[in-house]
């Protein structure tokens, strides 16, 4: 029998990590197309940081609680849900609400925990895999041998992109801020990890023939440098702007090289789109875990009462892989 209330992590006001405090709410009732999941672990992601600061409001109808991915157990099933049974262990993309003991989730955004993956580690899969897959590989042709430049190769997004690119036969180059992080990225599948504090990624990538695909979370001066490093007909995808979004750049090479620059955020996308991505991941990506072509990268797991430290670590950008929290 379910209790009446659950423990949560609340944002008491917008600001630094100390605004995150323990709270208590009624357990949500799942809609007809949802399942109620008892949370084993939740992922900590960049959008959580931005929302905590007051710059990423949840979309209409979504929970105001942080937490965009979880792993856990299905304990209640909506009347229209056919794919899941009570007791199923899942990992899922949420629309918020993961920083709680229970969360209601669209059933089509849930996936089985991949074979060989621990239930705790599985909490760190969905936000990054949905993001990387939908932006770079979903409904796209991937050419083996293409050069994939991934900025921020040790974070959740970066380490996922490196693994996926390598598993699909791409040459993956990445940028990192230390020799230790470069070694981690290369052990994760990168052909070449570039220490951006000591080397110029533009020259290195150009010498290798130019990047056909670029994942950027930096912005700022990286935007102009990405254009310089890109091969003809390359696709550059902007997923964040850690160095700023207002920049000056020479766009003439955009025409001369026939480049495509796009950007996106995942959370506001329609539920049907996320469901299609989930189905594609289940078919094409999840089997790669059993084949040991993909693996989880968990940096550290915190308890809910340590959520402030988890956010501080996320902001310090010294982690290798995913940061998780658990009730």
- CA–CA distance from 48 to each of 43, 175, 217, 249, 302 (Å)? 9, 23, 15, 30, 15
255, 140: one domain: yes
CB 148 within 8 A of CB 165: yes
The pLDDT value given to residue 249: 83
* 37/76 same-domain check: yes
Tell me the CATH number at 189: 3.40.50.720
Structure tokens at 161: 């992109």
Which residues span the domain enclosing 94? 5-125+269-326
pLDDT confidence of residue 245: 87
- Helix locations, 20-125, DSSP H: 46-52, 119-122
pLDDT, mean of residues 105-126: 98
Average of per-residue pLDDT across 71-79: 98
228/234 Cα distance (integer angstroms) = 11
Q: Total structural domains in the chain?
A: 2
Dihedral pair phi/psi, residue 114, rounded to 5°: -60, 150
Confidence of residue 318 (pLDDT cuts 50, 70, 90): confident
In terms of Cα–Cα distance, which of 163, 209, 215, 210 is closest to 185? 163
> 82 and 57, same structural domain?
yes
Q: Once rounded to an integer, what is the mean pLDDT over residues 183-192?
A: 97
Give the pLDDT score at 243: 87
Same domain, 279 and 258: no
Q: Which of 45-59, 163-177, 214-228, 239-253 has the lowest mean pLDDT?
A: 239-253
Considering the chain, what percentage of its residues have pLDDT values greater than 70? 100
Share of the chain above pLDDT 90, in %: 91
CA distance 321 to 298: 5
Query: Which pLDDT tens digit goes with each residue over 265-313?
Result: 899 999 999 999 999 999 999 999 999 999 999 999 999 999 999 999 9
Band the pLDDT of 324: cuts 50, 70, 90.
very high
Quick one: 43 and 56 in the same domain?
yes
Write down the mean pLDDT value for the chain: 96
Residues 155 and 244 in one domain: yes
| The pair of three-digit structure tokens given for residue 155, joined into one six-digit string | 């974070």
CA distance 133 to 127: 10
Burial (CB count <10 Å: 0-12, 13-18, 19+), residue 198: exposed
* Per-residue confidence (pLDDT) for residue 262, from 0 to 100: 95
Q: Which of 50, 71, 188, 189 is nearest to 124 (CA)?
A: 71
Query: 289 and 196, same structural domain?
Result: no
Structure-token pair, residue 213 = 């695909």
pLDDT at 317 over 90: no
Residue 34 makes CB contacts below 8 A (sequence gap 6+) with: 78, 81, 104, 105, 106, 107
Same domain flag for 135 and 186: yes
Which of 242, 263, 284 finishes a domain? 263
The phi, psi pair for 52, rounded to 5°, reads -60, -30
- Distance between CA atoms of residues 186 and 183, nearest Å: 5
| End position of a domain, from candidates 263, 283, 302 | 263
Categorize the per-residue pLDDT at 133 as very low, low, confident or very high, splitting at 50, 70 and 90.
Answer: very high
Quick one: which H or E segment has residue 280?
helix 271-284
Question: What integer pLDDT is reported at residue 93 of this predicted model?
Answer: 98
Mean pLDDT across the stretch 66-94? 97
């Amino acid at each position: 029998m379910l209790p009446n209330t659950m423990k949560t992590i609340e944002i008491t006001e917008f600001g630094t990590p100390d605004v995150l405090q323990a709270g208590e709410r009624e357990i949500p009732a799942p809609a007809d197309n949802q399942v109620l999941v008892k949370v084993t672990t939740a992922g900590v992601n960049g959008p959580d940081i931005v929302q905590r600061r007051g710059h990423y409001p949840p979309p209409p109808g979504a929970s105001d609680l942080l937490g965009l991915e979880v792993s856990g157990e299905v304990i209640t099933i909506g009347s229209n849900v056919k794919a899941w049974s009570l007791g199923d262990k899942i990992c899922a993309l949420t629309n918020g609400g993961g920083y709680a003991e229970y969360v209601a989730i669209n059933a089509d955004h849930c996936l089985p925990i991949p074979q060989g993956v621990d239930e705790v580690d599985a909490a760190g899969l969905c936000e990054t895999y949905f993001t990387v897959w939908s932006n770079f590989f979903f409904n796209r042709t991937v050419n083996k041998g293409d050069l994939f430049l991934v900025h921020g190769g040790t974070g959740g997004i970066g380490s996922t992109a490196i693994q996926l690119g390598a598993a699909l036969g791409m040459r993956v180059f990445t940028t990192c801020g230390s020799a230790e992080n470069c070694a981690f990225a290369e052990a994760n599948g990168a052909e070449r990890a570039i220490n951006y504090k000591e080397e110029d990624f533009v020259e290195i990538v150009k010498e290798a023939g130019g990047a056909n695909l670029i994942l950027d979370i930096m912005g700022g001066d990286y935007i102009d440098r990405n254009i310089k490093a890109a091969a003809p007909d390359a696709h550059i995808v902007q997923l964040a702007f850690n160095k700023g979004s207002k920049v000056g750049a020479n766009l003439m090479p955009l025409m001369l090289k026939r480049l495509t620059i796009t950007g996106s955020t995942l959370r506001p996308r329609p539920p049907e789109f996320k469901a299609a991505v989930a189905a594609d991941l289940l078919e094409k990506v999840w089997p790669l875990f059993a084949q040991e072509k993909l693996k989880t990268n968990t940096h550290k797991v915190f308890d809910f009462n340590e959520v402030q430290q988890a956010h501080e670590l996320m902001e310090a950008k010294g982690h290798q892989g995913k940061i998780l929290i658990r009730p």
